[in-house]
Amino acid sequence: MGPPEHLGSYRLLSSLGAGGFGAVYLALDPGGRTVAVKVLHPHVAADAVAIARLAREVETMRLVRGRHVAEVLDASLTGERPYIVTRYVQGRPLNAVLSADGPLAGDDLVRLARGLAEALESIHAAGVVHRDLKPANVIVSDGEPYVIDFGIACALESASVTASGAVVGTPGYLAPEVLEGRDAGPAADVFAWAATVAFAASGRQPYGTGPATAVAFRVVHREPDLSGTPSWLAPLLAECLRSDPALRPSATDLINRLDLTRPPGDRPGRRDADRPWAAAVTSEAASGSAAGTTSGAAPAVTPAGGHQGGHPGADAGDEAVTRAWRPGDPRRSVDDLRARHRRKLHRRWVAGSAVVVGLFAAAARDNLPEVSLLLLVLYGIGLLVDAGFGLAARSRERPALDAAGGVGAVAVWALLSSLFSTGTLLLAVGTVVIILLMLVFAS
């Protein structure tokens, strides 16, 4: 097996898929963190106009920061294989989620709609237009949406890239002004937001399916089909799907409107109380004024009916309570996830090693009793050292788990020695060795 492929300072691990502009790979950065590397297709890389435009836009794209966007971290647009590096979000594309689980409803739909609106607000605040928002460019992780590929479609639109006559974007999610050749602004993304949310809510494309030209014709000349979308959401979607971009709300307006419009039966303040990153707002914001947000902070949340996010059951007349969002407030920080992952790996290692050591010691008990005893002693010493590190790190779970592993190894040794013959145990040892070697080569 040859050495892993590298692209610049990034080690490519596996393919994540491919789109109209390039192939995406899971990769490791120099610090060992996972990232997504998008390598542009050769016909795009050969387009000097498109690459020059993308190079100008990348610096702006790197300014986009938001909880619901996969930020651009790095880019190299020179050489034969230009690429863009973004934050890696582990999850499934929205279209795959809908195909497997069906349309979204209730709080899940609200989380999607609001998360996408927050992403567009962050993107537009940096002066970027996504231009190709659609279910395939939305990654869903733990129920939260994350927008990928923002700004790339707009930056790569050039004569040679579209020489085949193809439209940069996806019909059904492209706004009428884009299909008619007019400039696309933030309002075009709002149109795509509505088409995406309508599809998520109903499982149906608002402009139907079929040839791209037929879908594009319906977008320009027909009204959207919003049947199947909830009654509380349909009016907002219809407003966003208007033909005149000047009549569509902004991304910030979408957030405020969604906060004031809740699905029937959704208890006011429930979503916000369950999310430590959500910020309650004062009564002035509830009356319609929009609070400004700084880059990287979550927009203000205005619970319907005057209820505050920190007090789900409060009356409308109660005093408003403000909770500011702070970095580290997300439900599960990166450090917490890493610590949980390390603990899980440690538990698996102790359990697996206890079984393997007990098996090997049992197989050697009759013919090589000294080796059998040595294996158990060495394993015990290793667990004692590991428990010492756990005590130094003030971990109570780690020493207890190591002690359980030592007892488990002795128990496996005694049990297998009494139940099975030496020949059977040696056969089991050989099987384990083969499996371990296969795992090593596979990794």
Binding residues for ATP: 38
What DSSP designation does 306 have? G
CA distance 197 to 184: 20
Compute φ and ψ for 83, nearest 5 degrees. -150, 160
Q: From the centroid of its chain, how far is CA 157?
A: 26
DSSP string of 222-270, one letter each residue: S----TTS-TTTHHHHHHHT-SSGGGSPPHHHHHHHHHH---TT--TTH
Residue tagged active-site, from 29, 108, 132, 335: 132
Report the candidate in 239, 232, 249 with the shortest Cα–Cα distance to residue 117.
Answer: 249
CA distance 322 to 325: 10
Contact 198, 224 (CB under 8 A): yes
Helix (H, G, I), strand (E, B) or coil at 304: helix
Helix (H, G, I), strand (E, B) or coil at 289: coil
Residue 190, C-beta contacts closer than 8 angstroms, at least 6 positions apart: 120, 240, 248, 249, 250, 251, 254
Binding residues: 38
According to DSSP, the β-strands at 279-280 and 300-301 are parallel
Contact 147, 123 (CB under 8 A): yes
Report the candidate in 245, 250, 97, 247 with the shortest Cα–Cα distance to residue 184.
Answer: 245
CA atoms in the 13 A half-sphere facing the CB of 228: 15
Q: Is 132 among the catalytic positions?
A: yes
Catalytic residue list: 132
